[in-house]
Chains A and B, each alone.
Chain A
């Protein structure tokens, strides 16, 4: 957290009222606004995306050159017309006719070229933008969950939107700035060609401009940067207010937050005004130089014309060019900061594209067939999110086809982690995880995922109808199948009371349902997936015991012919399982069915005999006592 962004306002003195511990928005400046001006790596990576449109880009550059050429040509034609076509009193108008014809030809070409260039570039830039975004999004579908675990959605979204947009801006303007550059050199060239001495004299104002810029640039950059930063800080605070509005209202923080936000918005205003000052101060300087250059042409060029050393048409052309001369300089300056911004954005985009995909299909991976037996086996598995701190240690067990196995154990013992491994969310450090007799590393992740359905503790739903949510990606599921699954988990009744029934739209993340209802829907979703293996990870935490029991009973039927792995706490659920696996501190301590475990007299029987409804209900101390007595016996 950086202190300099504590944007306190100095023009309001309310030290007494400002709460010491209140902030809005997170004050993190994580990213550089400006990258290096030129970063070869970024350019070459971005070029990959431009590559498919290279023909269009070349056409566009060609069009820009033609366009610039006509721009340069127009004053020349005028000069020709004045010098040759307008000799007062002549009858022969052919020179004038030629000049006008040339002019019309030039503007037609100008029209065509500018149309072509802007259209092609504009659309190609949109295409590139969408392609980059797609590539990033697709990549994010495959990067390992350990990356996703620690990366905020908001940050990824700002990559997918803001950064991609500034690349687009860059692409669009870069072709134009090719034109600007050509125009600039073209004008210089033409002026020198028309009259070398007058040209040099006119250009002598340029060094002044560069000296001024040297002093101006660092300050202006700092001012622009400050404006950009306060802007993102303010926007961040707004986003927080939107996401957290319920918490804000329930704790009645509106007033305090408004005041804090006002500070930020005001700082934003001030930095923007400063930035505007810096941007605008260049205007009179450039205009003064333009005026100076024109004055030079009038005085020097004028006397040259007087002496007969210069055609008046040349002088007119000079005056035209001078007025057009500073436009490209101005827009190139702007392009400079666009380019820097684009480099910074490009680097961030590449960072995302280059996130390593740790868990990848082997080159010779096979698809897990739908007819596999559904067995799951852990063979001496050791795994840790951080390899130095194993979460599972030498765990071995086998779940036979069609069996339902309960995993029990205290919080943090590694149950969820074990389930994640079946799906190969992470790769293990030692041993093997087998599904249907195949090492999961030899299978394609897609086919593996299709054969495993999971119900996660957090019931995440998508915007869309209830129907779409339940059948999720199984788009060939029929309404009957969906209704059957909903009935099985006891969700049918409430769904039919919704306005629109199965076609009722869910709010953001299912917000118009109660948490328990969301859990039921996510349950139904897993059933519709119709997979060989069903994994339930504490899927019933926000559901009352009675409803849970109904689900359990439905499950007995649904699990017929399937393999079930159930993480649960309530002993009723556990007792019904074919087999129970007890985990503790990442180690498998016991396994067997209820009666066997009771006879064994180990941790499970001790816990069971404590007579709590659920392992979660056992107070820590009793649990520790049981565990200790277990390990000492």
Chain B
């Protein structure tokens, strides 16, 4: 527990996929916690357990009744008065039928409520996981592979959900069967009872040992399967790269390696499970053989009746199923403690970007965005300063342009404004309020970023545009789309705004995707609007039209444009040239040209494409 807690507190969430130390303590704590969750449904849990008790007791009654019936037939062989026995047999039969029916009904209650508890827990966990994933900050998602999160949210959740019905209830059932059965057997015949139960200590020792081994195997297997699915997913996602490099063989090698190591462990797991189940069943049968041997002798010596022996043996038949299922039960325990550990680790993560306790909504008045000596390093690489001492002011109605080489920190600046990450030095304010002091919701309504690579949702174009404002009227959607120069294209589609865009918007071209992402951002009416290189795939003419459509819109907000194409930002009120995380030049287009520095060189390169510039660049 402690090591995991520490690493998560430091924001190293990758430990999610690296739960080592399959030790007693951690697994046990997890099981206790799952049990506590179950207990939050006291009524259903009680019904399930009580029903289990009743069903199990009724089931134990059956051997008695059968034994009784057998005995009756035996006694009559020597005595007379057949009709008496006949009616006694009929009575036994009726009781038997009634007991069976009741047992069926209570088993139904037991199973249903046990499952119901599980499903309720599943529901609660689903919501908790979903909520957590939505709230965890970008830095968490940067380090954890999406496939691993999906595994936690789907498979691990199942493991925890099933714990009550396949694990706990079975323990209760087995406990009752063995406990009550033991009492009945031991009071009937002490020696024979002890013999009948002689398998219990062996099973009791074997089960937890196996659980631990299974758990360790399980954890490791889960990890290897995650690697395998990552290999497959990346291959399919990057299939063009694979083909372009004729790397099929290389990819198959990667696959075989991942697959082979997972298969090996899968075999191990089968082995552990099977060895365990068969040895447990064997030990059980062995005690049955002893009962037969010793019991037989007792019958011969007249110590007990055939009926008693029958009920002993029947009792053991009843135990046969649960004992066989003991393997599954052990499995359920191992699985729940593995899966639970992973889920709880996710749920217990601290959300590092959240509202302060006394956070108020952002109050936008003058609409001024201000960077004050901001420096920043990504949490995954805390020693590598990405931004150093950046300061600027951006006022309502004004446009700020940012240019710079790849990796200079432009997108990072864009990410800091809506607080996707927190600055590590200095501060960012909007109208004098530090963005860390206001509520996240109000901040993110006030700041909109058009991302460099936009994620589109698999739904209609209309829903995608209205993503940030799902209450929007159709007219507004059409307007935004028109401003983004998307409307005409959409109207040309057969289903117009109801056209579904595919997974990650595959059916749209890069330029169309960017325009959709711009339209989506326009719906938000933010106070600060950031375009992060979001027109790279849009031709300059279209971009020009987008800009003029936005002129009115830009009047009452701050606009920040990050671009490589200088025509996109040369009309900005101030331009920052960033390099290595620092502002190396700043001013208007004309200022910067006059400076004859990097910006000027860039500009010359773009407008005067001549060999002479190639030399000038050196």
Q: A96-B300, A246-B138 are in contact. Are A498 and B614 (CB under 8 A)?
A: no
- Interface hits, B107-146 → A, CB 8 Å: 107-108, 111-112, 115-116, 119-120, 122-123, 126-127, 129-131, 133-136, 138, 141-143, 145-146
A 537-559 binary contact with B (CB < 8 Å = 1; else 0): 00001111111011011000000
How far does the alpha carbon of A515 sit from the alpha carbon of B454 in the complex, in Å?
12
Beta-carbon contact of A473 and B267 below 8 Å: no
For A122, give the chain B residue with the smallest CB separation: B270
* Contact of A242 with B153 in the complex, beta carbons under 8 Å: yes
Q: Judge whether B602 and A545 touch: CB under 8 Å.
A: yes
A454 at the interface (CB under 8 A from B): yes
**Given the complex, which residues of A lie within 8 Å of B489, measured CB to CB?**
none
Given contact pairs A122-B270, A572-B605, A23 touches B463 in the complex (Cβ within 8 A):
yes
For A104, what are the chain B residues with a Cβ–Cβ distance below 8 Å? 286, 289
- A497 sits at the interface (CB 8 A): yes
Contact B458 A119 (CB under 8 A): no
**In residues 1-37 of chain A, which contact B (Cβ within 8 Å)?**
1, 19-23, 25-26
A334 vs B104: C-alpha distance when bound (angstroms): 18
The interface residues of chain B lying within 8 Å CB-to-CB of A294 are: 62, 66, 93, 96-97, 100
Contacts of A619 in B (CB 8 A): 539-541, 544
Q: Is the CB of B104 within 8 A of A287?
A: yes
Partner of A241, one of B134, B448, B520, B609: B134
Instruction: Find B540's partner among A122, A245, A256, A617 (CB 8 Å cutoff).
Output: A617
Query: What is the number of residues of chain A that contact chain B, defined by CB distance less than 8 Å?
Result: 184
| Given A246-B138, A286-B104, A295-B93, residue A93 in contact with residue B609 (CB < 8 A) | no
Taking a contact as CB atoms closer than 8 A, the residue among A244, A316, A544 that contacts B406 in the complex is A544
The 3 closest A-B pairs by CB, nearest first: A449-B246, A516-B406, A291-B100
CB within 8 A of A21: which of B383, B471, B611? B471
Shortest CB–CB separation between residue A292 and chain B, in angstroms? 6
Nearest residue in B to A450 (C-beta to C-beta)?
A: B246
Residue of A nearest to B236 (CB): A153
**A306 close to B86 (CB less than 8 A):** yes
Q: Does A364 contact B (CB under 8 A)?
A: no
Mark contacts of B494-517 with chain A using CB atoms, 8 A cut-off: 1 yes-contact digit, 0 otherwise: 000000101110100011000000
- The interface on chain B, measured as residues whose beta carbon lies within 8 A of the other chain's beta carbons, has a size of 183
- Let me know if A96 and B293 touch, CB within 8 A: yes
Which B-chain residue is minimally distant from A272 (CB atoms)? B119
**CA–CA, A447 to B248, complex, Å?**
12
Assembly CA distance A152 to B507 (angstroms)? 10
Of B134, B249, B262, B448, most buried by chain A (CB within 10 Å of CB) is B134
- Is A462 interfacial (CB-CB < 8 Å)? yes
Q: Are B243 and A425 in contact (CB under 8 A)?
A: yes
Contact B103 A287 (CB under 8 A): yes
Which A residues, 264 to 294, have Cβ-Cβ distances below 8 Å to chain B? 265-266, 268-269, 272-273, 276-277, 279-281, 283-288, 290-292, 294
| Complex: A472 Cα to B247 Cα, angstroms | 8
B404–A544 contact, CB under 8 A? yes
> For the complex, what is the distance from the CA of A245 to the CA of B137, rounded to whole Å?
9
Pick from A78-86, A215-223, A397-405, A578-586 the stretch touching chain B. Answer: A78-86
Q: Which of A38-46, A131-139, A428-436 contacts B (4 or more CB under 8 A)?
A: A131-139
Please name all residues of chain A whose beta carbon is closer than 8 Å to the beta carbon of B452 when the two chains form the complex.
515, 542
Q: Which residues of B contact A157 (CB under 8 A)?
A: 229, 232-233, 236
Q: Which of A89, A446, A614 contacts B246 (CB 8 A)?
A: A446
Q: Does A194 contact B (CB under 8 A)?
A: no
Q: Are B407 and A516 in contact (CB under 8 A)?
A: yes
Tell me, in angstroms, the Cα distance from A627 to B86 when the chains sit together. Answer: 108
Contact mask for chain B residues 75-89; partner A; CB cutoff 8 A; 1 contact, 0 none? 011000010011001
A-B contact pairs, 12 of them (CB 8 A): A1-B500, A22-B463, A119-B274, A122-B274, A258-B127, A265-B127, A287-B107, A290-B100, A298-B96, A462-B238, A473-B246, A507-B142
Distance in angstroms between the alpha carbons of A244 and B503 in the assembled complex: 11
Which B residues are in CB contact (< 8 Å) with A411? 511, 539
- Is B392's CB within 8 Å of the partner chain A? no
B-side contacts of A258, CB under 8 Å: 127, 130-131, 134
The answer for the CA separation of A111 and B284 in the assembled complex, in Å, is 11
Which of B259, B299, B617 contacts A86, CB < 8 Å? B299
Interface of chain A residues 513 through 532 with chain B (CB within 8 A): 513-517, 519-520, 522, 525, 529
Beyond the given pairs A463-B230, A507-B142, 13 more chain A to chain B contacts, judged by CB atoms under 8 angstroms and listed by A's residue number, are A85-B300, A86-B306, A104-B289, A244-B457, A265-B127, A266-B123, A285-B104, A294-B100, A512-B142, A519-B406, A543-B564, A572-B609, A619-B544
Residues of A within 8 A of B533 (CB): 515, 542
- Report yes or no: A542 in contact with B123, Cβ–Cβ below 8 A: no
Contact yes or no, A498 B407, CB < 8 A: no
Q: Which of A401-430 contact B (CB under 8 A)?
A: 411, 423, 425
Which residues of chain A have C-beta atoms less than 8 A from B271's C-beta?
119, 123
Quick check: A148 and B406 within 8 Å, CB to CB? no
